[in-house]
Structure 1
Amino acid sequence: MHSTTRRGFLHTAAAAPLALSSAVADERDSANEQITLALIGAGGRGADHAKSMAGMPQVRFKYVCDVMESRRQGLTGELAGIQGVAPQACSDMREVFDDRDVDGVIIATPEHWHALATVWACQAGKDVYVEKNPSMTIWEGRKMIEAAENYGRIVQVGFQNRSGPYAESARAYLQAGKLGRIVHVKVYNLLGGSRWQRLPDGQIPPGFDWDAWLGPASWHPYTASRHLDWHPWWDYKGGSLADDASHQLDLARMVLGDPAHPRSVVCFGGNHAFQSEREVPEFQCISYDYGDFTMTCENGNAFKYMAKFPPEVRYGTQWPHWPTSATRIEIYGTEALMYLGRHGCGWQVVDLGGAVLEQDKGHFPDKWHRPDFIESMRTRKRPKADLASCHASACLVHLANTSYRVGQKQLQFDAANELFTNSDEANAMQRLPYRDRYRIPDHV
Structure 2
Amino acid sequence: MLHDSSGVSRRVFLGAAAGLATVIHRPLFAQPAAPSDQIQLALIGVGGMGTGRLKEFMTHPDVRIAAICDVDGRHRDAAIALVRSTLGYAPPGEADFRRLLTNKDIDAVAIQTPDHWHAIAAVRSMEAGKDVFVEKPLSYSVAEGRAMADASTRHARVTQMGNHIHNTGRNYRDVVEIVQSGTLGRIHRAGCWRTWNAALTNNEPATEPPELDYDFWLGPAPKRPYHPLRSHLTFRNFWDYSGGTFIDFWCHIMDVAVWALDLKAPRSVSALGGRFVVNDATETPDTMEAMLEYPGLIVSFSLRPEPPPGFTHMGGIGCVFEGSDGTLVVNYTKHELWVKGKLVESFTRPAQTIPDSPGHLREFLDGIKARNIETTCNVRYGHRVTKLGLLSNIAYRTGRRLQWDDSRERFVGDGDADKHLSRKFRKPYAL
Instruction: With the length of structure 2 as denominator, give the TM-score of the two structures.
Output: 0.84
Question: Is this contact kept in 2: 1:179–1:337, CA < 8 A?
Answer: yes
Cα separation, partners in 2 of 1:358 and 1:50, compared to 1, 3 Å? farther
1:400 aligns with 392
Alignment correspondent of 1:376: 367
Corresponding residue of 1:173:
178
Q: Tell me by how many angstroms 1:231 deviates.
A: 2.3
Shift of 1:428: 1.3
Are 1:351 and 2:339 matched, yes or no?
A: yes
Alignment-derived partner of residue 414 in structure 1: 405
Task: Give the equivalent residue in structure 2 for 1:40.
Answer: 44
Aligned pairs for 1:107-256 within 5 A: 107-164=111-168, 165-194=170-199, 203-228=207-232, 229-256=234-261
**Cα offset for 1:54?**
1.7
- Counterpart of 1:413 in 2: which secondary structure? strand
Summarize deviations over 1:188-219 as a string: whole Å, max 9, x none. 0112313x7999x9642111101110011011
Q: Could you give the per-residue CA deviations for residues 88-147 of structure 1, whole angstroms, max 9, x where no partner exists?
A: 111110122111111000100111111111011001110000000010111111111121
1:375 deviates by 0.5
Which residue is 2:31 aligned to? none
Letter in 1 for 2:416: E
CA distance in 2, matches of 1:278, 1:245: 19
Matched, 1:298 2:286: no
Partner of residue 311, structure 1: none
How many residue pairs get aligned? The number is 386
Structure 2: distance between partners of 1:112 and 1:284: 22
Shift of 1:277: 6.4
Which shifted more, 184-193 or 123-132? 184-193
Within the alignment, does 1:335 sit opposite 2:325 as a pair? yes
Alpha-carbon distance in 2 for matches of 1:389, 1:121: 19
Aligned-partner Cα distance in 2 for 1:134–1:359: 37
Matched-pair identity in %: 28
1:330 aligns to what SS in structure 2?
Answer: strand
Which consecutive residues of structure 2, in runs of 5 or more, have no partner in the other structure?
1-34, 350-355
Q: In structure 2, what is the Cα distance between the partners aligned to 1:243 and 1:419?
A: 23
Aligned counterpart, 2:27: none
Taking structure 1 as reference, are residues 264 and 335 closer, same or farther at Cα in structure 2, changes over 3 Å only?
Answer: same
Contact map agreement 2:238 2:282 (CA 8 A) in 1: yes
Q: CA deviation at 1:223?
A: 1.7
Task: Give the deviation of 1:372 after TM superposition.
Answer: 0.6
SS of structure 2 residue aligned to 1:99:
coil
- How far apart are residue 322 of structure 1 and its match? 4.8
For 1:278 and 1:210, the matched residues in 2 are separated by: 18
Alignment check: 8 A CA contact 1:271 1:277 kept: no
Residue 240 of structure 1 deviates from its aligned partner by 0.6
- TM-score, normalised by the number of residues in structure 1: 0.82
CA distance in 2, matches of 1:92, 1:284: 37
Amino acid at match of 1:339: V
**CA–CA distance in structure 1, aligned partners of residues 400 and 319 of structure 2:** 25
Q: Which residue is equivalent to 2:95?
A: 91
The Cα RMSD (Å) is 2.5
Contact in 2 for aligned 1:348/1:357 (Cα 8 Å): no
- Of the three residues 66, 81, 90, the one matched with 1:77 is 81
Tell me what 1:310 maps to.
none
Question: Is 1:129–1:155's contact at 8 Å kept on the other side of the alignment?
Answer: yes
Deviation at 1:405, TM superposition (A): 0.9
Task: Measure the CA separation in 1 of the matches of 2:202 and 2:76.
Answer: 27
Contact 2:117 2:219 survives alignment (8 Å): yes
CA distance in 1, matches of 2:113, 2:125: 14
**Structure 2 residue matching 1:220: 3-state secondary structure:** coil
How far 1:35 moved relative to its partner?
0.3
SS in 2 for 1:60: strand
Task: Verify the 8 A CA contact 2:67 2:92 in the aligned structure 1.
Answer: yes
Contact 2:330 2:336 (C-alpha < 8 Å) held by counterparts: yes
- Are 2:38 and 2:63, in contact at CA under 8 Å, matched by a contact in 1? yes
Q: Is the contact made by 1:64 and 1:90 (CA closer than 8 Å) also made in structure 2? A: yes
Q: What amino acid does structure 2 have at the position aligned with 1:69?
A: G
